[in-house]
Structure formats: structure tokens, C-alpha cells
Amino acid sequence: MARLAPLTEEPISEEDSKGLSKGSHSFHRWLKSHLPLLFPKRSDLKIILSVLGCPLSPVSILSNQPHNVASSAQYIIQQFRATTGCAKIEGTVKSMFASGRVKAVMMDENGLSSAAGDQHKGCFVVWQLVPDMWLVELAVSGHQIAAGSDGEVAWRRTPWLGAHAARGGVRPLRRALQGLDPVTIAAVFSPSEHVGEKHIGDEDCFVLKLEVDRSVLSNRSDSTADIVKHVMVGYFSQRSGLLVYLEDSQLTRIQTPGSQATFWETTIASSIDDYRAVDSVMIAHAGRTSVNLVRFGVGVKDDSVVTRMEEMWVIDDVVFNVPGLSADYFIPPEEVKRSCFYDTAFGQH
């Protein structure tokens, strides 16, 4: 059972690298599978789907959410809840369905998109059952990937790797935090810290920061790949109270036996707009996400190597309280149910 790679949380390739330790060949196989800057024969589409397809939120939802306005951050979240109207549906909405379209492209070193023929178009659907069961299915340029959570274990499935369980516990889908699920956004940012104000586009924004605890990062690391830091920042409009920009960055230290340490920094930034009312709840219907993957450290040529990609998305439909949707719909694939992570989550050995 291969673990999820720490940088993008994508399952490791099943290709074999003899003579390396388990942790060493795991990261080596991830490099071969996903980074064309080191292995040019790999397709851009696989990298895009690995990084942008179904990423998870850096943080989990706390079981006990504070609702009193005891800090400036809490006040900002209360304003967000009031503006979006999500407080109206808490306790009454048990499930949600959303469908949308995406267009993804690799970027050159100057931040310009590649030729039109290299743009990858597709569609996706998201199913969610309150509080933490979800399933997303994404089809892009003939490739299909999926990810889900049964409330105990999160998993991901790609055609080139099959299905794998994730380390570090259940977390929300990042796509839900891109304005699609205001209830989850409010819950995730409830323990955040207000760190100032910033101008984003045409908006003056309050900045709320969440930093993942070191003990949590340790659960997602191993002897080869150590996640040093993972931070998520939300930018909430001072004018409207809505979330208009979401950014998270992760720094990972990689060191295989007998080699120098290398660092990888992943930054994912999403602009969120086109909020519309769905059953009196404000839902974002469009946005754009950009990703920078930066590799640096001893022995890296030109000090650092950067890979850039971008995704544009549009939400076509959102439905609350889906008839007939039950927990049975979120049962993980058999490969995941047989994994050690799934057994650990249920206290089995």
C-alpha cells in the first residue's frame, strides 16, 4: 500500500525503483510520475490532474466550533455567515450536489499559457453529505479521477495509480472552500487569526490566517519527506463580507539516504467570484486557480526550478438536500478499505 506523496497528496506511482528504501523510492517514483522538468516524457495533463484535480484543505474542521464574537477573526466570520446566508441552512441542509466545468493549462516561465492545443477541458461533479462525507468525480481530456471521504478516511483514485487512502485524517475538499460551500468555509476559518488587511484586485480585504499544527504535519510526513509548514490564508472583502481569494502554501523537506536535502514549496492561489444566490445562500459560480511548484536546495541548477499551471472553473448547478443520497454512496473503493490507514481509523489492526 503506497502512501500519498506529501507535496500534492497524490498517490505514489506503482513503478518499482530497486535498491532504494521504501520512503526513498516512494518520493523518487512521485518525481518520475509528475514532474516533467525532471522527466520530460511525462505528460502535462498528469501533472495538472495530480496537483489541481482533487486537493484537500490543509486543515480539518474542528468538532467544536466557536460561535461567539470573541475576536476580530470571529467577527469577520460572523459577517461572512450573515452575508452568504449559510446560517439559515445549518441544521436544515443535509446534503449538496454541484456540477461544473474546468479548463486547465500549463504555464511557461513568464506566466503565459501554452498553446491552445495544450489546454485541457473537462467537467466535474461534487456530492456532499453533512458533516464530512464527500465525493468528487472529475473528467478532463479523456482522463477520469475521483476522491472521497466516508467521514473516517479520505482517498483518491486515478487511472494510472488506482485508489489510495490519505494520511493525516479527514479534511474538506479544497474545491468546496473556493466559495462553493459557505458552511464549511465558516467552520474551517473559525479558529483563524486576523493578521491584517490587504488590497486584492478591486477589493480591500480582511486577512485570516490558519497555520497547521506541527503535530498534525508530522502525521502527514515520513522519514524521507518532512512537511515543514503548511499555511492557508483567506481574504474576505471588507465591502461584501465574501471570501474573494484563497491561498495555501506548503514547504516540504526531502532527503533520501546519502543525498543532500531538497526543498519543495507548493503555492495554490484561487480568485473567487460570481457569487449568486441558490436557495437564499450565496455560492461562488466562477474562479481561477494558479499553482507554483518551486524546487530549491543544494545541487539544484539555477538556484530553483519552477513549474506553473492554472485552472479556470465555472459552476453550472447547485442543489441542496439531494433526494435519496445516503452514507452508502460514500463507501470507499475496496482497495482503500483494505489499506492500513482505513483499519487504523477504525481502531483495527
Question: How high is the mean pLDDT of the chain?
Answer: 82
pLDDT exceeds cutoff 70 at 51:
yes
Higher pLDDT, 5 or 138: 138
The end-to-end CA distance of the chain, in Å, is: 15
Q: 8 near 292, Cβ under 8 Å?
A: no
What's the confidence (pLDDT) of residue 165?
Answer: 83
> Sorting pLDDT into bands at 50, 70 and 90, what band is 167?
confident
What's the confidence (pLDDT) of residue 149?
Answer: 94
Q: Which of 198, 240, 199, 235 is nearest to 82 (CA)?
A: 240
User: Rounded distance, CA 275 to CA 283, Å?
Assistant: 5
Domains and CATH numbers, the chain: 22-345 (2.50.20.10)
What's the confidence (pLDDT) of residue 302?
Answer: 62
pLDDT exceeds cutoff 90 at 70:
no
Q: 211 near 231, Cβ under 8 Å?
A: yes
User: Rounded distance, CA 206 to CA 79, Å?
Assistant: 11
Q: What is the arithmetic mean of pLDDT over 82-106?
A: 93
What's the confidence (pLDDT) of residue 347?
Answer: 44
Instruction: Say if pTM beats, i.e. exceeds, 0.75.
Output: yes
Q: 246 near 272, Cβ under 8 Å?
A: yes
Share of the chain above pLDDT 90, in %: 51
Share of the chain above pLDDT 70, in %: 77
Q: Which of 83-97, 193-207, 300-314 has the lowest mean pLDDT?
A: 300-314
What's the confidence (pLDDT) of residue 102?
Answer: 97
Q: Which of 24-28, 40-44, 225-229, 339-343 has the lowest mean pLDDT?
A: 24-28
User: Rounded distance, CA 290 to CA 106, Å?
Assistant: 10
3-class state of residue 139 by DSSP:
strand
What's the confidence (pLDDT) of residue 225?
Answer: 83
Beta-carbon contacts of residue 348 (< 8 Å; ≥ 6 apart): none
Say what the alpha-carbon torsion angle 45, 315, 313, 93 is, to the nearest 10 degrees.
Answer: -80
The residue assigned the cell 482497495 is 335
Q: Which of 291-295, 304-308, 320-324, 345-349 has the lowest mean pLDDT?
A: 345-349
> Sorting pLDDT into bands at 50, 70 and 90, what band is 343?
low
Q: What is the arithmetic mean of pLDDT over 8-15?
A: 37
What's the confidence (pLDDT) of residue 306?
Answer: 80
pLDDT exceeds cutoff 70 at 110:
no
Q: What is the arithmetic mean of pLDDT over 10-32?
A: 41
Q: Which of 178, 187, 158, 189 is nearest to 318 (CA)?
A: 178
pLDDT exceeds cutoff 50 at 33:
no
> Sorting pLDDT into bands at 50, 70 and 90, what band is 254?
confident
pLDDT exceeds cutoff 50 at 339:
yes
How does pLDDT run across 169-210, given as a tens digit for each residue?
A: 789 999 999 999 999 999 999 999 999 999 999 999 999 999
